[in-house]
Structure 1
Amino acid sequence: MDARWRLLALTSIGAFMAPLDGSIVAVALPRIATALGLGYGPSLWVQAAYLLTMAVLLIPLGRWADRRGRLRSYLLGIALFTAGSLLAALARSGGMLIGGRVVQAVGAALLSATSAALVTAVFPPSERGRALGINVMAVYAGLSVGPPLGGFLVDRFGWPSLFLVNLPIGAGVLGWGLHLARSVKDAEAPVRGGDLPGSLLLGVGLLGLLIPPTFAAEWGWGDPRLVGLLVLGSLALAGFLFWERRAVSPLLDLDLLRNRVFTAGNLAAFLNYGALYAVGLLTAAHLQLVQGRSARVAGWILLGQPVVQAALSPLAGHLGDRLGARLLSSLGMGFTALGMGCLALLPAHPNLPLLIASLAVVGVGMAAFSAPNTSAVMGSVARERLGVAAAVLATMRVTGMAFSVALLGGLAAQGLGSGGWKALVRGGDPSLALVFANGYRAAMTAGALLALLGAWASLARPRRDPGVTSSS
């Protein structure tokens, strides 16, 4: 097999691991909350800590990977992700579990910062969309396998098995990657030293802006802690931009932001994931806590969205090579808004085929958006900036995910009040289930509006994307 296709296969297996872990955990959160006695905020932090850590580290680690070698950095990411999975499986408290998730996130940040850059570097523009479509298909395959596998594992073996399943996959990928590294030249870009002040300012800024929505449902938006964090985050991001304009070796080359394809594609990615990432998390909770279904059945129902995504992503990548990302990605965001609008209109105990069909429409939208948008963004930058470009795109994606969990999760729980989540997962109070069902509809409505904003951002890019081949 050609070395570039072996490299694509390696990065695709790694791309399978992180979403597999995320979708497995989403189905099992009510069970984990019961086992460890977690309230709503700590339950969200099982996911949010993973996403926030990734968001803070992606750009610094993308730059580090450009200097140290992307393939070596990718393999280090596999090792850390596997080690974090073991730590999470051994956790006996919420704090220990969140700590394991943070270690997982450091590894996942290295994977996300390098995967698209490795693929983009070895495939020509005429094949880039197809290759990235296959890579994206692996992501959605992980999302597809996660819900039913998670439901089966948590029902049969308990929640620690959700993390133990990563160990054989990680060990196998690491061994294969070390073997492949002997025959593949690992590209290193001539990038100068690091930017510690920029990294710290960016990290404080992202945390300051993303933590408040996570706790707003419990603390209230007027709480001084939330206001202080928002002010701190805003000042830190302003300081980051000020510093980057003057730094000798900036963390982020602000010239990239003058690239309309790059900027519009990243904004669209943020809004896309901000709209839909919490769909699986909240729908899994709705299926179990409102409709009274088991984790296993909930996992099978949630297959509607990721199966469609996995099936259509290679086709979407191929069409993106021919047609460009602008129209296809914008149409995808429109389908996402339609699907989430349908979810918002469903009653507390919906007709099951309608629920699955609504999730499938969301899957069509995600498939049409992701691969073409990624190909356009990565194809718009010079080769020596691929690592940073991939890291910026991944940061927008993961920040959107964290924003989705915080904002949509907060809307879903807005009426539960202090202690309401623990009472809901224990069961026995139908009024709390109804409150959560109403919050779920509000969250889906907000997600549909974010998706429409994402469609607008996608349409803002130039009509013809760089690197798009003609049909001849």
Structure 2
Amino acid sequence: MTDSATTHAPGRPGGDDRYKWTALTNTTAAVFMSALDGSIVLIALPAIFRGVHLDPLAPGNIAYLLWMIMGYRLVQAVLVVTVGRLGDMYGRVRIYNSGFAVFTFASILLSFDPFDGGHGAMWLIAWRVLQAVGGSMLTANSAAILTDAFPAEQRGFALGINQVAGLGGMFIGLVAGGLLSAWDWRAVFWVNVPVGVFFTLWAYRTLRETGKRGGGRIDWWGNITFAVGLSAVLIAVTFGLQPYGGHTMGWTNPLVDALIAGGLLLLAAFVVIENRVAAPMIQLGLFRLRAFAFGNLAGLAISIGRGGMQFVLIIWLQGIWLPLHGYDYSDTPLWAGIFMLPLTAGFLAAGPVSGYLSDRIGSRGLATGGALLFGGSFLGLMLVPIDFSYWIFAVLIALNGIASGMFASPNSSSIMGSVPAPSRGVASGMRATFQNSGTAVSIGVFFSLMIAGLASNLPHTLTSGLRQQGVPAHVAAQVGGLPPVSSLFAAQLGVNPVQHLLRPSGALTHLTAAQQQALTGREFFPTLIAGPFHSGLVVVFAFGAALAFLAALASLLRGTSPAARTPEPREAATGDPHTRPDRYPSG
């Protein structure tokens, strides 16, 4: 690495103005791919389960499904701060480039799963973990690379493009997963390979270090307590969604309680450690910057609401609305992604525009307005009937997408613009940790609320409905007493659960042809579940609205922060605790 590469920042006087657009193109492709892979598997799960010959409704297989969804998010939530810190120490471009190579290598291995059944599922989960490691290295350093490359007056636009690429990737992944899995389930991993190879080579050839390195050393105790503590909490969320001891969920499981308590204790120990070491993994002093602290709080609240809403809308469409409108269960994953396109369009339309405007009028008003509109869209969805008119649904989710775009770009720009230059890698990682943790936690929170809502009404409704169609009382009671999580995931996986649940008892063979057709048709289960599901939806959307209004309040409190003071090179290199950002006044 030449000295000249770090002396002149591209996009500023003396730098190569074209470099900033190269950095934007490459990092945008990186965050898009990383986010795409976080959601592409979600919509392709039915094809994946069929491909590795897993029964999606077998009790033990619910854990495989949860880990295919949660594992990727968990690893990203745990690692992004660490790899952001490594970028500050050893070079953001170096860590970023390595991440592209790891991500591509894992994608190749994922597409060649040699096993079937549980072993095949474990192969996919394990290599998804490695893929998430590469994705963490990309997302943690991409915002820092852009902040280094772009001047302050263009930074909001660049970060807006980057952020919208990530958010857009989440929802484009839903459509891409449906299209590719209809061809071959392995194609959802193949798609990463040529793109990953090209951009890996291009990144190695064109990107260079333009920011100051922070120096210092690895905070091993901080890394260990943070990684193990956060992992324990998120693993507990995964187990909490599974039935335990006759209960519909596992929140009474002693293992879940132990994991949560142990995880919180380790996170508390992490805070103590970070206040004592000379070169902390997370610079807690950054939270004294008001724009940084309240921006991340607002981002966490929006992330929880957005992540949970994504899963709930998919289940709503796949399990109820699409079957009621004549779509086969096997086709619902693809069409659910297509019918959610207004959400993606809202992201893509609002994100770059809000990033551009934030450079000119500031971030606080746009981000606060976006959070308020986000909450308003949740209130609108609460009023929509289960069997809705699509144009009303499309308008509301488009408004939700616009709101997310309005919020995301200015919020990222405000957070990244508030920190000193040598801390941008770790700040980017901290921002990504809040976002990924919010998405992972949202699955547990929203699914728990939905399962609780179903548990109060679904058993009686399901039992009564089955008995009306001639199913023997003891069989109907047995099926109605099964954990609601099975029915919920059946809807997500495009499986008719009634036919599946009645098959072991042989009850179907003793019914008339008309009764068999009614039970196994498209409308019986969606009609049956509609009432209990709507009760759960109202609770879920009310919670989402409350989170959005909390985000609006936090965004309003961020203040109008001036640009953070950039330390002199001597300060950044010393690793002296007296030169850390806790010296800087709050925004």
Instruction: Quickly name the TM-score band, shorter chain normalised.
Output: over 0.9
Q: Within 2, Cα distance between the matches of 1:368 and 1:83?
A: 35
Correspondence 1:100 to 2:127? yes
8 Å contact kept, 1:70–1:188: no
For residue 459 of structure 1, what is the aligned residue in structure 2?
A: 556
CA-based RMSD of the aligned residues comes to 2.1
The answer to whether the Cα contact below 8 Å between 2:76 and 2:132 also exists between their aligned partners in 1 is: yes
Q: Within 1, Cα distance between the matches of 2:157 and 2:355?
A: 5
Tell me by how many angstroms 1:188 deviates.
5.2
Task: Indicate the residue corresponding to 1:367 in structure 2.
Answer: 405
- TM-score, normalising length: structure 2: 0.75
Q: CA deviation at 1:153?
A: 1.3
From 165, 187, 202, the counterpart of 1:138:
165
SS of 1:2 mapped into structure 2: helix
> Residue 103 of structure 2 aligns with which residue?
81
**Paired amino acid for 1:195:** D
Give the direction of change, closer, same or farther, for the CA distance of 1:245–1:121 in structure 2 (3 Å limit).
same
The CA distance in 2 between the partners of 1:32 and 1:340, in whole Å, is: 32
Matched, 1:124 2:151: yes
Q: Which amino acid aligns with 1:15?
A: V
CA distance in 2, matches of 1:319, 1:15: 22
Whether the 8 Å CA contact 1:217–1:411 is kept in 2: the answer is: no
Give the distance between the partners of 1:423 and 1:136, measured in 2 at CA: 33
Q: 1:423 to 1:401 in 2, by over 3 A?
A: closer
- Which one scores higher on RCO, CA 8 angstroms, separation ≥ 6? 1
Equivalence for 1:70: 92
**What residue in structure 2 maps to residue 151 of structure 1?**
178
Alignment of 1:72-471 (within 5 A): 72-91=94-113, 92=116, 93-155=120-182, 157-181=183-207, 184-185=208-209, 187=211, 189-218=213-242, 219-291=249-321, 292=323, 293=327, 294-414=332-452, 415=455, 416-417=483-484, 419-421=486-488, 424=491, 425=493, 426-429=495-498, 430=525, 431=528, 435-436=532-533, 438-462=535-559, 464-467=560-563
Q: For residues 322 and 41 of structure 1, what CA distance do their matches in structure 2 show?
A: 48
Aligned counterparts of 1:53 and 1:440: Cα–Cα separation in 2:
29
Are residues 427 and 242 of structure 1, via their aligned partners in 2, closer, same or farther at CA, if it must alter by over 3 Å? Answer: same
Q: Alpha carbons of 1:144 and 1:224: their partners in 2 closer, same or farther (altered >3 Å)?
A: closer
Unaligned runs of 5+ in 2: 1-16, 243-248, 456-482, 499-524, 565-587
* Higher mean C-alpha deviation, range 31-40 or range 245-254: 31-40
Using the TM superposition, name which of 371-380 and 444-453 deviates more. Answer: 444-453
Partner SS, residue 216 of structure 2: coil
Distance 1:127 1:270 in 2: 25
**Residue type of the alignment partner of 1:197:** W
Residue 341 of structure 1: how far off its partner (Å): 2.4
Aligned length: 464
CA contact (8 A) 1:69 1:186 kept: no
Query: Structure 1 residues 399 and 116, CA, compared in 2 at 3 Å: closer, same or farther?
Result: same
**Structure 2 equivalent of residue 46 of structure 1:** 68
Paired residue for 1:10, among 26, 33, 42?
26
Question: Which deviates more from structure 2 when the two are superposed, residues 30-39 or residues 263-272?
Answer: 30-39
Partner of residue 20, structure 1? 36
1:98 Cα offset (Å): 1.3
Cα distance, 1:170 vs structure 2:
0.5
Structure 1 alignment gaps of length 5 or more: none
The Cα shift of 1:451 comes to 1.3
**Residues 323-332 or 143-152, more deviating:** 143-152
Go from structure 1 to structure 2 and tell me whether the alpha carbon gap of 1:326 and 1:401 turns closer, same or farther (over 3 Å shift). same
Q: What SS does the aligned partner of 2:275 have?
A: helix
Is the 8 Å Cα contact of residues 88 and 101 (structure 1) preserved in structure 2? yes
Return the offset for 1:435.
Answer: 4.3
Larger radius of gyration: 2
Whole-angstrom CA distance in 2 between matches of 1:442 and 1:159: 34
Identity over the aligned pairs, expressed in percent? 33
CA distance 1:423–1:360, shift in 2 (3 Å): closer
The offset of 1:129, in angstroms, is: 0.6
Q: What CA distance in whole angstroms lies between the structure 2 residues aligned with 1:447 and 1:358?
A: 14
